[in-house]
Amino acid sequence: MTNLTDLTLADARDGLQRRAFSAVELTQAHLDAMAAARGLNAFLVETPERALAMARASDARIASGDGRPLEGLPLGIKDLFCTEGVITTAGSNILKGFEPAYESAVSGNLWRDGAVMLGKLNLDEFAMGSSNETSAFGPVVSPWRRPGSDAPLVPGGSSGGSAAAVAARLCLAATATDTGGSIRQPAAFTGTVGIKPTYGRCSRWGTVAFASSLDQAGPIARTVRDAAIMLRSMAGPDARDTTCADLPVPDYEAAIGRGVRGLKIGIPKEYRVAGMPDEIERLWQQGAAWLKAAGAEIVEISLPHTKYALPAYYIVAPAEASSNLARYDGVRYGLRVEGRDIVDMYERSRAAGFGREVKRRIMIGTYVLSAGYYDAYYLRAQKIRTLIKRDFETVYADGIDAVLTPATPSSAFGIGEKGSGDPVEMYLNDIFTVTVNMAGLPGIAVPGGLDAGGLPLGLQLIGRPFDEETLFAASQVIEDAAGRIALPEAWWGR
Amino acid sequence: MSVDQTTVRRIARLARIAVTDEDVPHLQGELNAILAFVEQLGEVDVEGVEPMTSVTPMAMKKRQDGVTDGGYPDKIVRNAPATEDDFFLVPKVVE
């Protein structure tokens, strides 16, 4: 029998239904893999007792023919989702030891559908980062290495723990969140599939807030089918989040076999950026060729405001973050450092609790919202956001069904390699993904192949609002054509 | 636009983050790098463009104005660093 941790989520589901193995066996195999992989630092908290209790309950359900959609499937949860009675830190010292008294809507939906929680996954602090190096609990090491090298690489971020754990087969799939690319960039860096659904598809209730008009939850998984199964359970209406859409969730798994015949796929010329490696350009053309061979029509399109998305994001996201993170004041929860008076206590607590990147973003956000600068920065950025969204609305009105782009401007880089001097160097990682958040659209990253250095590269498909089904159908075509990437053999923990 | 060290201290004060003398030059450089990067937004013609206020077109959900939750103060204060009788404790604010 193959190793249980090498199964896809779909195969594990089918195996449980056939009683080829039990949920307890499947869960124990993952707990063992996690224990052997602690060197990757992907999990911040392991919850083995809870996992085994959930698995035993799932086995009882399966035995009585009462199985739910994710019955007995072990998952990892990004530590941005509040989990009742289980430490939730958002990767920050300011929330060290925080034990929520409630369950996030998204994780609650997974438990409702029978999934098993293995633990909480590492991330950039408050999801602010593109390499998982800003976590207060240390960076995540990617399971990928360049051939012949043992130099540690980043798994991408901010959902670095999620991507690394899925690629290293420590969990069948994981939850993640994406504010500017935090699902799609780490998925691209680790040869996994990650989808950021349309803004409003998943409830944000109980997810630690970064930038509320941009944040969306989504899954990272090893196949397009697995991502489709995950999203169906994660998504859905929720009265507790006023921006969560009151729309029924389609059966995404049923959409993956639809193909792309007759679809119009747009290739935006503005994504051909200066200094982009030839291999990325080649992969992009290859992706278009695969879709064309499957019957899609490839159309050159223009999204003229693309280049302004990233700078506008670095006004909007920090502005919202400065407001959202005002709640960490050392009074109601989290770290407190005593001071001379209450303001001194706030200032010391926040200085001690937040890391450098978070402080930087709070300060930029505070500045662009401050008197005299609001119109020049924040209001202008929100107007540019309207223009970015309008670019997409125009091409969709012209009949484009989805847009194909590279997922990232490069493959994974080394830990410590980027952004130490100039924060903007790190921000450029999200150049292809951030437009999607600014426009509230769905976007998926799917592996396209390996670069000359043996590291995975991803393609991104951007869809119409609430049309994740077309993205699953088109990315299944790419997955079939590219062939599933062979994930790295376990060198960790040996 | 760029910020000087006095402005960095003023922003830190507004953001309620204590900064040391050593932090200020670093922060000034980093903030100015970000501000230089966003400068290009000035070249976009935004005349007559409405700022985005809703990501996807949707009506704000409404409900009856009534109490739908509560009654568990112990849970509310459970994670607080300092409490007494289900109250949050802070340093003296009013003399």
Tell me if A212 sits within 8 A of A218, measured CB to CB.
no
Please check whether residue A167 lies inside any domain of the structure: yes
ipTM: 0.95
Residues of A in contact with B1 (CB under 8 A): 376
* Neighbour count for residue B92 (Cβ, 10 Å): 7
Distance CA A334, CA A325 (A): 12
pLDDT tens for residues A13-23? 999 999 999 99
Distance CA A75, CA A41 (A): 16
Question: What confidence tier does B94 reach under pLDDT thresholds 50, 70, 90?
Answer: confident
Backbone angles phi, psi at A381, to 5 degrees: -65, -40
Q: Known catalytic residue: A78?
A: yes
Backbone CA torsion sign across A122, B17, A319, A331? positive
Segment B39-43 mean pLDDT: 95
**From A326, A345, A381, residue closest to B91, measured CB to CB:** A345
Number of domains chain A contains: 1
Domain harbouring A38, CATH code: 3.90.1300.10
Measured CA angle at A208 (ends B52, A99), to 5 deg: 165
3-state class (DSSP) for residue A229: helix
Backbone angles phi, psi at A196, to 5 degrees: -100, 110
| Confidence at residue B59, expressed as pLDDT on a 0 to 100 scale | 81
Distance CA A12, CA A70 (A): 10
Q: B88 and A331: CB-CB below 8 Å?
A: yes
> How far is it between the farthest Cα atoms of chain A?
70
A292: left (phi over 0), alpha (psi -120 to 50) or beta: alpha
pLDDT tens for residues A143-188? 999 999 999 999 999 999 999 999 999 999 999 999 999 999 999 9
Instruction: Name the residue among A33, A54, A44, A72 with its Cα closest to residue A159.
Output: A44
Tell me which of A383, A389, A427 to substitute to probe the interface with B (most B C-beta atoms closer than 10 Å). Answer: A383
Tell me if A365 sits within 8 A of A428, measured CB to CB.
no
Tell me if A491 sits within 8 A of A145, measured CB to CB.
yes
| Confidence at residue A424, expressed as pLDDT on a 0 to 100 scale | 86
Distance CA A238, CA B53 (A): 21
CA distance to partner chain B, nearest, from residue A389 (Å): 9
The tokens for A308 are: 């302004």
Q: A345 and B90: CB-CB below 8 Å?
A: yes
| Confidence at residue A419, expressed as pLDDT on a 0 to 100 scale | 77
The answer for B 18-37 residues in CB contact with A (under 8 A) is 18-19, 27, 30-31, 33-35, 37
Among all residues of chain B, which has the CA nearest to that of A98? Answer: B79
CA distance to partner chain B, nearest, from residue A291 (Å): 28
| Confidence at residue A158, expressed as pLDDT on a 0 to 100 scale | 97
**From A213, A334, A347, residue closest to B55, measured CB to CB:** A213
Measured CA angle at B21 (ends B15, B23), to 5 deg: 60
3-state class (DSSP) for residue A230: helix
| Confidence at residue A434, expressed as pLDDT on a 0 to 100 scale | 97
Please check whether residue A95 lies inside any domain of the structure: yes
Tell me which of A84, A303, A350, A364 to substitute to probe the interface with B (most B C-beta atoms closer than 10 Å). Answer: A364
**From A199, A242, A383, residue closest to B55, measured CB to CB:** A199
Backbone angles phi, psi at A83, to 5 degrees: -125, 125
Q: A366 and B15: CB-CB below 8 Å?
A: yes
Average pLDDT value for chain B = 93
**From B41, B46, B61, residue closest to A311, measured CB to CB:** B41
| Confidence at residue A2, expressed as pLDDT on a 0 to 100 scale | 67
Q: B81 and A335: CB-CB below 8 Å?
A: yes
pLDDT tens for residues B61-83? 888 999 989 999 999 999 999 99
Please check whether residue A454 lies inside any domain of the structure: no
Please check whether residue A111 lies inside any domain of the structure: yes
> DSSP readout, A189-215?
HHT-EEEE--TTSS--TTBPPS-TTT-
Tell me if A361 sits within 8 A of A322, measured CB to CB.
yes
**If DSSP states are collapsed to H, E and C, what string results for A84-123?**
CCECCCCCCHHHCCCCCCCCCHHHHHHHHCCCEEEEEECC
The boundaries of the domain holding residue A53 are 4-258
Residues of B in contact with A237 (CB under 8 A): none
Q: B37 and A387: CB-CB below 8 Å?
A: no
Please check whether residue A116 lies inside any domain of the structure: yes
Please check whether residue A446 lies inside any domain of the structure: no
Residues of B in contact with A387 (CB under 8 A): 44, 46, 49
**From A330, A341, A363, residue closest to B81, measured CB to CB:** A330
> DSSP readout, A366-420?
HHHHSTTTTIIIIIHHHHHHHHHHHHHHHHHHTT--EEEEES-SSS--BTT-SSS
Please check whether residue A276 lies inside any domain of the structure: no
List, for chain A, all residue ranges whose pLDDT scores fall below the cut of 70.
Answer: 1-2, 494
A219: left (phi over 0), alpha (psi -120 to 50) or beta: beta
User: Could you tell me how many CB contacts below 8 A there are between chain A and chain B?
Assistant: 164
Tell me if A215 sits within 8 A of A204, measured CB to CB.
yes
Buried b or exposed e, range A136-163, using 16+ CB within 10 angstroms: bbebbbbbbbeeeeeebbbbbbbbbbbb
Q: A440 and B92: CB-CB below 8 Å?
A: no
3-state class (DSSP) for residue B83: strand
Tell me which of B4, B17, B27, B39 to substitute to probe the interface with A (most A C-beta atoms closer than 10 Å). Answer: B17
In whole angstroms, what separates CA A177 from the centre of its chain? 4
| Confidence at residue A421, expressed as pLDDT on a 0 to 100 scale | 72
Please check whether residue A373 lies inside any domain of the structure: no
Q: A384 and B46: CB-CB below 8 Å?
A: yes
